Amino acid sequence: MKVSVDEAKCCGAGQCVLLAPEVFDQREDDGIVVLLDETPAEHLHDVVREAASVCPAAAIELSENA
Amino acid sequence: MSQGEQVLSYPIPSRTALEPPEEWAQLRQQCPVARVSLPSGDEATLITRYADVKQVLSDPRFTRALNADDAARISTNESGGVFNSEMATVLPQSGEGHQLWRRMISKWFTAKRMMALRPRIEAMADQLIDEMVRKGHPADLKASLGFPLPVWVICDMLGVPEADRDRFSHWSDALLNLTRFSQAEVDAAQAEFARYMAGHIAAKRAEPGDDLLSVLITDTDAAGAHMPDAGLVATGQGLLMAGHETTANMIGKMVAMLLADRGRWEQLLANPALVRTAVEEALRLDANPGFGMPRYITEEVEVAGTVLPRGTTVVCSMASANRDETVFDHAEDMDLGRSPNPHLAFGAGAHSCLGQALARTELQVVLEVLLRRLPTLELAVPADELRRVEGLVVGGLREVPVRW
Ligand code: HEM
Ligand code: SF4
């Protein structure tokens, strides 16, 4: 799985960080998403999929077969 | 809805406090873009399906300029309360200006900050429950816990002294109710509230603390600009109002929903790890979240195959969208472990709730502490005797009587 984030769309709601702190963080100065791990380990895939589906700004993109 | 058919009145009344009106499901199936008449008598277009609500909230052509000349007024109350108040006109509502503003505030509401705040929220919840237990049951969980907790948290973040906190309840009530107060009362509350906040900001400028407003006074946005005083006042007011009534009412509604069928409470007692998903499920199934989100278009836009002319006011029912069977399996059932749960209770897109990490943290902490402290908690009245508050913008229950 390959993860990418769109900083311009991100509204800093922090849902992704609450769900998968191993993969996502937020910048200290404006709360915008920081991708910590582009290719998260297998056991994180479910929670990363959940983060992408609940992100209110649709700012998280996944490509499953990368 | 075809021409000449009767126009539905909005909000649509429900028969019981926790259940949705039946019309929502019918509208989603038969009339996803419906003409409705608002309490003011003005007409608007109601959107009830998940995909459409999400599309409208995420599309910047649907603006928050509800003060436009031909925008529908929500209530008979002339100013339209919170939607057209000074707060809504001082703060940038769209585009880059809104994003600059939002990004100055966002850092205070990050997931990490909320995790750091958690122990203090927990201590506060414990203290409020101590007091409730001392006074004995039956108790009103809304007055004892639901209301004081979020006010305390947001005042703490804004550096507002403890002693002033009661006054906020009145101000936000006057600005959010839309039906109970006269225009003169709303104006007076708005003026007093703004004066109070201006005074508070002057005090913080003279003697800064480490709270949000003190830091915001000296901060600059990504374009290097300081926030003007009017913006600081409006931000302080906006955060107090946004952070207070919504969360306070949601605490009461969440606990009522979980106790209405005590099997749910027992499921949580047996498996407290469900708290996170249970909170999301309560947010999704809240049948009484208030008015919904109004938007206004200055150009023609198509939604669900219907062309909406420029000048249309659109009302999004997130609560109906959250029960859309095409998105949620067994949408009417409360599934405490539901995951993923992409509900729209906090909106979507660029305006999606800025305080959602805080709201989630407060709701989770309240539930955890209640399960730990009062495992025998139950409703002290039958669920169908719970009554809704009359206000228009934020929905809630008048009281949540409980015993333990
Ligand atoms: C359960 C509690 C809450 C609910 C259901 C809720 C719901 C919402 C919704 C639906 C919106 C979108 C408005 C729109 O699209 O026009 C919103 C915006 C907002 N909320 Fe919340 N909210 C809650 C708690 C909070 C808290 C605790 C705060 C923090 C102080 C907060 C601050 C805000 C702010 C500042 C906005 C405006 C964001 C913007 O325009 O960019 N909310 N909220
Ligand atoms: S959930 Fe989406 S909007 Fe929120 S911080 Fe993460 S990427 Fe940004």
Whether B111 sits inside 8 A of A30 (CB atoms) is: no
Structural domain boundaries, residue B302: 8-403
Structural domain boundaries, residue A45: 2-63
Structure tokens at B23: 């019309």
Burial class (CB in 10 A: 0-12, 13-18, 19+), B2: exposed
Whether A58 sits inside 8 A of B354 (CB atoms) is: no
Instruction: Quickly count: other Cβ atoms within 10 Å of residue B8's Cβ.
Output: 15
Do residues B227 and B214 touch, judged by C-beta distance below 8 A? no
* Tens digits of residue pLDDT in A32-62: 999 999 999 999 999 999 999 999 999 999 9
B65 ligand 1 Cβ < 6 A: no
Is B261 within the bounds of a domain? yes
Is B2 within the bounds of a domain? no
CA-based angle B373:B375:B380, to the nearest 5? Answer: 105
B89: contact with A, CB 8 A cutoff: no
User: Which ligand 1 atom minimizes the distance to the CA of B91?
Assistant: 40
Cβ contacts of A17 on chain B, cutoff 8 Å: 110-112
- Among B109, B340, B349, the residue with its CB nearest the CB of A57 is B349
Tell me the best of A48, A55, A61, A62 to mutate to test the pocket of ligand 2, counting ligand atoms within 8 Å of each CB and taking the most.
A55
Nearest ligand (C-alpha, residue B112): 2
A16 ligand 2 Cβ < 6 A: yes
pLDDT at B86: 53
Distance CA B320, CA B335 (A): 17
- Residue B311 Cα, ligand 2 centroid: separation in angstroms? 32
Whether B354 sits inside 8 A of A13 (CB atoms) is: yes
If one counts the domains in chain B, the total is: 1
What are the residues facing B302 on neighbouring strands?
B307
Could you tell me the CATH number of the domain that includes residue B264? 1.10.630.10
> Interface pTM (ipTM) of the complex?
0.87
Short-list B299, B267, B287, B284, CA closest to B371: B267
Going by the DSSP 8-state scheme, the letter that residue B82 receives in this structure is G
First to last CA, chain A: 5
Sheet holding B43-47, edge to edge: B8-9, B33-37, B43-47, B313-316, B293-297, B62-63
Whether B110 sits inside 8 A of A29 (CB atoms) is: no
- From chain A residues 17-46, the ones with a CB under 8 A of any chain B CB are 17-18, 21, 25-32
Structure tokens at B116: 């750091």
pLDDT at B125: 97
Q: Which helix (H) or strand (E) holds B316?
A: strand B313-316
Short-list B92, B244, B221, CA closest to B154: B244
Do residues B402 and B380 touch, judged by C-beta distance below 8 A? yes
Please tell me the distance in Å from B110's CA to the nearest CA on chain A: 6
pLDDT at A58: 93
If one counts the domains in chain A, the total is: 1
Burial class (CB in 10 A: 0-12, 13-18, 19+), B220: exposed
Mean pLDDT by 10 residues, chain B (404 residues): 68 91 96 94 96 96 88 70 57 84 91 93 96 96 93 90 80 73 83 92 93 92 88 89 88 98 97 97 95 94 96 97 98 96 95 93 98 98 92 85 98
Is B78 within the bounds of a domain? yes
- From chain B residues 104-123, the ones with a CB under 8 A of any chain A CB are 104, 106-107, 109-112, 114
B353 ligand 1 Cβ < 6 A: yes
B94: contact with A, CB 8 A cutoff: no
Please tell me the distance in Å from B76's CA to the nearest CA on chain A: 33
Please tell me the distance in Å from A56's CA to the nearest CA on chain B: 5
pLDDT at B82: 52
User: Which ligand 1 atom minimizes the distance to the CA of B150?
Assistant: 27
pLDDT at B5: 59
First to last CA, chain B: 49
pLDDT at B1: 44
Tell me the best of A3, A29, A60 to mutate to test the pocket of ligand 2, counting ligand atoms within 8 Å of each CB and taking the most.
A60
Instruction: Quickly count: other Cβ atoms within 10 Å of residue B184's Cβ.
Output: 8
The residue of chain B with its CA nearest to that of A33 is B110
pLDDT at B178: 64
Distance CA B289, CA B287 (A): 6
Tell me the best of B54, B153, B232, B246 to mutate to test the pocket of ligand 1, counting ligand atoms within 8 Å of each CB and taking the most.
B246
Whether A49 sits inside 8 A of B340 (CB atoms) is: yes
Cβ contacts of A31 on chain B, cutoff 8 Å: 103, 106-107, 109-110
Instruction: Quickly count: other Cβ atoms within 10 Å of residue B157's Cβ.
Output: 20
Could you tell me the CATH number of the domain that includes residue A34? 3.30.70.20
Is B266 within the bounds of a domain? yes
